[in-house]
Each structure stands twice: as C-alpha cells, then as structure tokens.
Amino acid sequence: SLTSGSRMSKSTMPRQRFSLVLKPALILVLAVAPLATRSEESDAVVSGIDEYVVPVGTVHKGTMEDPCEAVRGSGTEEDPYVFQAAVDYFQSSTGYYTFTNCDGVKPTLKVKAGSVYKFVQTHITNHMHPLGFAYEPDGAHKDKDELELGVTPPGSSSDCASSNSCQAPMYYAGSSGDVFLGGSGLLSSSSDPYAGVGDGGFGLDSYEPAFEGYQETWKYNQFNVRVKITDDATAEYFYFCHLHEWMTGRVIVTNADGSARSGVGAIELYDPVKLSDFDKKCGFTSAPNFGDELGPGAFGPSSRKCDNAALCGTWDTFRECNEAIDCHMNYNMRVAHSTDKVITFMRQMIPHHQNAVNMAKILLKEGQADVAAADASLGEDAFIAGMLQDVINSQNMQIMNMMNYLKENDTPVYDVQCASSLEINEDLAWGYAAAGLVVGAVLIGIVYFVYTRTRAHPPSISAAKNVEPELEVQKPTPSKAYGGNEMVQLAQLPAYYPPRV
C-alpha cells in the first residue's frame, strides 16, 4: 500500500510510480462517478439498508477458546462466508474492529482452509479503516509480510511467489459489491467506475485511497475483502487497519474438515487497552502504545494536576468528562522547548490532537441524542455525526505519523519532568494560605491592641503644646524629580488625597 501509515506491497514494487500518478485521478473518479451512476439500489445503500447484514446466530466470545465464526454463506466463490465488520471507537484511542455475532474486544476469528470468506465493510464506522491481512500483528505498520500474491507464506515450501499466485485478499467495491478492484485496466466497466487501477492483481491500491476519500462518496460502495487460505502451513494470520496502527486481531485457520492446525497462538499479540469505569462512562481511553499509560481518566478533579476549571455551569457527566480531557491536554502539552522546533511542535500537538479526538468521543457517547437531533434539524445538510467521526479518524492518523517521527528521533511524546515541575502543588498552596491567615490575624491583633491603648491613654493638651514644631520639608521640584514631560503629565493628575484641614 502506498498511503500514509502503510508500506508498499512487496510483490508490487514496480507499480509505485504508476499508483502515485493515478491516485489523485482515482480519488477524483470516486468522487464524481457515483453522481452519474446512482440508482434506486444505491440510494437504498446510502439510507442505511445493507444487503450484507448477517442474521443473528450463535454469539461467540471472540477468544482463543471460543473464536467467532461466520454464520452466513457456504464458503464458495458464489456464496462466501460473511463477516460483517464495524469499528468500536470507545475501546481504544483508535477503536477496535468488531464483528456481528461476536463479543469481546479485538475478537479472535476462525476460518476454514479452502473456503472463501467475505469481510464486509459497509457499516459507516469502517470509513478510514480499510482492512488488511498479514502474517504478524499490524502488518504494514511493522514492516511485516502481508498476505500477497508475491509473498510466500511463512513455513511454506510453495514456489507460489515465482508465479505471483500466493494466497492473498481480493478487494471489491461498486454499488453491487461485486466489482473487483484488481487488474490492469483503469476503468474496465463503463457502467460501474470502480473496476481497479492496475496494482498487481488484488485491488488494495484502489481500495485503500477510497477509504481516505470523502465519506459521502465512500458510502455509495459495498466495500468488501475476500480471503481464501490455500497453503497448508498457515495456522493463523492477522487482520489490521492499513491507516491506523494497533487495531490488530487474530484469525485462526483450521483444516477444511474443521480440525485444528499446529502453531496457533505461536505469535504474541498485544493485549487490548484496559478501561476504567471512568473511561467507560466518558468514552475515552488511555493510549499506552505511545506512552499515555493512564489517559484522561487520571486527570479528573481529584488528580490536582490542573488549578483551573475549563467549563462554567452545571456539573454533570458531560462536564466531568470534558474537564478531565482538558486537564490531560494542558498537563501533557508542558514540554521542554527543544532547539528543534518541529519536535517541540509535535510533542505539543499530539496531546492537543488527543483532546480533539476525546472531545468527539465524549459527544458521541454522552450527547448521542443531541447529535442526532441537531443533524435531523439540518436535513440534507446534516454533517455533525460525520464530522465527529472524521475528527477521530483523521487526527488519530496524524497522531500516529507524529509519534513515529518522534520515535525515529529518539524523543518521547510526553515530558514528565517538565510537566511535574510546572504542576500546581495544591498542598503547598494551602499551606501558604494558612500561614498567611495566621500572620494576618497576628497583625490585626497588634493593631487592635495599639488602638485600644491609645484610646485609653490619649496625650494631654499641655504635652502637645510643648512639642517642637515640625520643620517644613522641601518637596522636590518637577525638574529635579523627573524629566520635564513626565512631570508635566504628573502635575496634571488629580489629587488622590484631600488637603489637610
């Protein structure tokens, strides 16, 4: 893949220049073509009717012991098994894939070798999350081998790479969902413009940029990926997002008769993000993958990390959640200024972007009804839900790009030492306040004592007559005290004290 966050497919290196040239043209075609080819069927898709919705069946836990299975289809080319994919934004900073009839976070799936499986990505949350498949977690992001026509599966004795015929996902789109995006033609069908740009045969370089395009264009397609495992050496592989790292899940492969293959679980997969009750209530999470171990949940009012509130008005869940993320941003933007201005910018911009992502999540979590009502009032011009989704996806991708840049330059995202040094020490502040009150009370006592003593023993008139007269103090002239202009201005000021009587 050639877009941000991915690497170019190993089996398709020569097509880099071709794809880079065609990508802008492809996005333009994807943007305008649906307007000319819309039908009643495509309008039904846009309105939310999804012909690929999987019927309710046995719900699995999505664990290694109880992996999720497809419940629709027969596994043939004409009637493939179907996994219906979506993304749950509230399970991690980027979100994790979910599948119909499947519980669990980052669920484990199970497929049979020799059968065709269709991973359908028509649910709106799939936008900007094109599925990829690799032999190790996070595939392209970690520069690991993907399932591609020119990549021999690990442990295999096959020579499939020489003939460009190894097991690989096949990418489809179009209003019908049956238009193959691979091949060599720019537009192989005048009736459906989504036939693929030449990309080595499996369609990824057409599929991925389409997911980065406008949501309004994207939703006219029945995007799906079809996978068939044909190599005996493959006991597992991993699904991942081509645009966002850390969304990987495991796919277990059995033999055609359902019997287990050896080697399942041999590759370690990182655990899902752990959520606190506060995280679950607000919809945000920590981001341990780039150093944010605690997340906004550790920055509530009791944390004493921020001295000022960000919002006025009623205290409710929405405000509580927003106060936490605003404090999280304020605290984590405290970094030592580097001589490298780009690095300083990124270290501050990452928590700034995190704040925007978390604001969108809180609104989607706590204000879902408000968002729906606001969009309903806008009619055909509704944009709020789509905008919130775009904020989450786009800014998360930018966060990852900046994080990787900092990593390559041996610079952590967060600066704990700087943040701690600027942190308000609330206990010390209360100590100073208490000391000030004590000192003030003592001074008031002294003044009161002198006053009462003076009232009780006033000086006699005869004593006052014997007091020598004060010498007259010569006040400085304006020219002596200040420059001429300054003193002229001073002389024009009103008298602040009344004359003595």
Residue by residue, what is the 3-state secondary structure of 50-81? CCCCCCCCCCECCCCCCCECCCECCCCCCCCE
Say if residue 8 is exposed, middle or buried (CB neighbours under 10 Å; 0-12, 13-18, 19+).
Answer: middle
pLDDT for 208:
93
CA distance 328 to 165: 50
Please give the structure tokens belonging to residue 293: 């171990």
500: left (phi over 0), alpha (psi -120 to 50) or beta: beta
Residues paired with residue 116 on neighbouring β-strands, in sequence order? 228
Would you list the domain boundaries of the chain?
10-254, 277-424
Q: Which two tokens stand for residue 260?
A: 């287990």
Measured between alpha carbons, how far is 137 from 93 in angstroms, rounded to an integer? 17
Euclidean distance between CA atoms 302 and 282, whole angstroms: 16
Q: Give me the long-range contacts of 9-14 (CB less than 8 A, separation at least 24).
A: 9/146, 9/148, 9/150, 9/200, 9/204, 9/205, 10/145, 10/146, 10/148, 10/150, 10/151, 11/148, 11/149, 11/150, 11/151, 11/161, 11/164, 11/166, 11/200, 12/148, 12/150, 12/199, 12/200, 12/205
pLDDT of residue 467: 52
Q: What is the pLDDT of residue 205?
A: 87
Q: How far is CA 203 from CA 25, 138, 142, 481, in A?
A: 16, 19, 21, 85
CA angle 306, 310, 312 (to 5 degrees): 130
Q: Specify the pLDDT at position 446.
A: 79
Q: What amino acid is encoded at 373 in this protein? A: A
Residue 460 φ then ψ, to 5°:
-75, 160
What is the SS3 assignment for 38?
Answer: coil
- Quick: pLDDT tens for 318-371: 999 999 999 999 999 999 988 899 999 999 999 999 999 999 999 999 999 999
**Separation of alpha carbons 210 and 221, rounded Å:** 10
Rounded CA separation 193/174 (Å): 8
What confidence score (pLDDT) does residue 465 get? 53
Please tell me the predicted confidence (pLDDT) of residue 37: 36
Determine the Cα–Cα distance for residues 300 and 331; give it in Å rounded to an integer.
12
The structure tokens listed for 3 are: 């877009």
Going by DSSP bridges, is the β-strand pair 170-173/116-120 parallel, antiparallel, or unpaired? Answer: unpaired
User: Could you tell me the two tokens for 481?
Assistant: 């005290």
What span, in angstroms and rounded, lies between the C-alpha atoms of 111 and 230? 12
Q: Which residues of the chain have pLDDT under 50?
A: 1-49, 185-188, 195-196, 426, 428, 473, 476-484, 486-501
What per-residue confidence (pLDDT) applies to 226? Answer: 98
What pLDDT does residue 216 have? 86
pTM of the model: 0.75
pLDDT for residue 187: 47
Rounded Cα distance, 5 and 138, in Å? 11
